[in-house]
Amino acid sequence: MSVSSGRVSLDRRSVFGALAAFAAIAAYPLIAVAQTGKTYRVAAVSIAGKPLADRFMNAFRDGLREYGYVVGRNLIFDVRYADGDASRLPALVDELIALKPDVLAGSEATVQIMKSRTSSLPIVLFVSSDPVGLGLAQSLARPGGNVTGVSTQSELIAPKHIEIMREILPRLSRIGLFVDPSAPGWKAGEENARKAARAAGLDAVVYYVQSRGDIEAAFAKMEKDRPDALTMGNLSNVTFQFREVVFDNALRLRIPVSVPSAMPDARSLFAFGPDGLQAFHDAARYVDRILRGAKPGDLPIEQPTKFEMVVNLKTARALGLTIPQSVLLRADRVIE
């Protein structure tokens, strides 16, 4: 390097040397993994069907690729889909455990089953509302056991759903809450939602749903209750599996619905929650550390840093609603 006339110039050798050093740092995970010469097996289970779940599984796969794990080269990636039927989860988990993977991965309900089946295989959470309360971890900082991964800040979701709904419906006074008593963490989710409604001065009407029949009965009751809006801030297998039944009935009764951001195909008025794709992508970092020798119990469970809001103008028009500019400007995505 030489200095002349106040300018700094680099000779060709220095430039290429710097570029080579940068490339080596950027490629470190790939090089380190490649040098092991081992093929790893990662197995995941999704409650959803393949068409919807693959969007998230691809984010997980992309994250693994960034750390040097490439399907067909040094990675076998086994995925099983429950197609919305939670009763299939135990058999699918057993099927994957029999393959003796290096790491198992799944969302909350699936990981509960995984943990009940094995204490030796490492398990990575894609997302969980309350891993400590559900007994999946001793604490977020020191999980102990064989489970680690990503947790949602579930206590923040319900207040935000109500805040956004009030901006859209200034006269909002009564809000319906869907609660699935079969879902992990449902008690905490219900209490968070009730507390948020009270803080906002709203009457909360809770509908307990564990089946399609419960959902249809809930909407029959809504014809009498007439809530101004309905929120499904805490996703469950039931509300996910029968989401179209929810949207069809809500539109029939002209009730705006809010859902988590993990429902990308939703016909809700809006969605808000942790960015599901980012959570699945981030889970790959845990897999990498475990495959390099870290113990799951020593890896702190992280909370999401990115939240996503999606506003559906198509649904708003069908309901005869106008979305305020203040809401549209904050949206990450607007469905026209």
CATH number, domain of 116, equals: 3.40.50.2300
Q: Is a pLDDT exceeding 70 seen at residue 153?
A: no
| pLDDT of 19 higher than 80 | no
299 & 235 share domain:
no
Q: Indicate if 221 and 241 belong to the same structural domain.
A: yes
The phi, psi pair for 284, rounded to 5°, reads -60, -30
pTM of the full predicted structure?
0.78
Residues near 245 by beta carbon (within 8 Å), at least 6 away in sequence: 212, 215, 216
Q: C-alpha 35: how far from its chain's center?
A: 33
Is pLDDT at 56 greater than 50 in this prediction?
yes
pLDDT at 298 over 70: yes
What residue numbers bound the domain in which 75 lies? Answer: 12-152+276-306
Residue 4: inside a domain = no
pLDDT at 51: 84
Contact call for residues 48 and 92 (beta carbons, < 8 A): no
Q: Does the pLDDT of residue 28 top 70, yes or no?
A: no
Segment among 6-20, 153-167, 274-288 with least mean pLDDT: 6-20
Whether the pLDDT of residue 11 is over 50: the answer is no
Task: List, for residues 212-258, the tens digit of each pLDDT value.
Answer: 999 999 999 999 999 999 998 666 777 877 888 999 999 999 999 99
Question: Do residue 41 and residue 170 come from a single domain?
Answer: no
Task: Please give the Cα distance from 183 to 156 (Å, whole number).
Answer: 18
Q: What is the pLDDT of residue 170?
A: 95
Residues 37 and 184 in one domain: no
Q: Are residues 140 and 160 in the same domain?
A: no
Nearest to 142 by CA among 309, 295, 315: 295
Tokens (6 digits) for 1: 């390097």
Q: Answer yes or no: do 184 and 270 share one domain.
A: yes
Q: How much of the chain, in percent, has pLDDT values that exceed 90?
A: 62
Q: What's the structural domain count of the chain? A: 2
39 has a pLDDT exceeding 80: yes
